[in-house]
Amino acid sequence: MSESTENTNAVEHPMDASRSQPEQQQRLARMTFAGVMVALVVIYLVRNADRFEDLQTETRYSELVEMVEPIQDTIEAVLLSGDAADMEFLDSGEAGLPDEVLVSEEVHGISVIDGRIIATWIKDESDLDGVTYILTPKIEDGAVEWATTGTCGGKKAC
């Protein structure tokens, strides 16, 4: 009887091993899948690093763009109302426009000259230091169209 018991045990061990083999294969497949996913994420991030930097610059620069929007609205309202016959009279401190603010270490610079809005990034020694955002209005077909110029284009900020 001891011989049959030994044979039974010998047969049982390979069965136990075969039961754990699918578990090991499944674990290996999961680890392989996780490794592939991590590799894909790393490849994506490396390939798109410049885009993320550009997006970060645009996001930071939106602070300056948002400062300009109310001034744009004021100029549009004045131009479309017919109160200003000429854009030469649309300057900082006139026609409901804010006074000129010179750029410094504490504040962004902003001024309006002949209807043109000139905004300058704060002096903060960042990659945007001194970058300009210039909007020039033009009336076409009863609507105000804005042309964007300045050094912000070179920094991919506007």
Q: What is the pLDDT of residue 19?
A: 59
Which one, of 141, 154, 145, 142, lies nearest residue 115 by Cα? 145
Lowest-pLDDT choice from 19-33, 79-93, 94-108? 79-93
pLDDT at 12 over 80: no
Q: Is residue 18 pLDDT above 60, yes or no?
A: no
| pLDDT tens per residue, range 147-157 | 999 998 888 77
SS3 content of the chain, % helix, strand, coil (to 5): 50, 15, 30
Residue-wise pLDDT tens digits, 107-145 = 999 999 999 999 999 899 888 889 999 999 998 988 999
CA angle (108, 114, 116) in 5-degree steps: 45
Return the residue matching tokens 């704060």: 122
According to CATH, what is the number of the domain 49-149?
Answer: 3.30.700.10
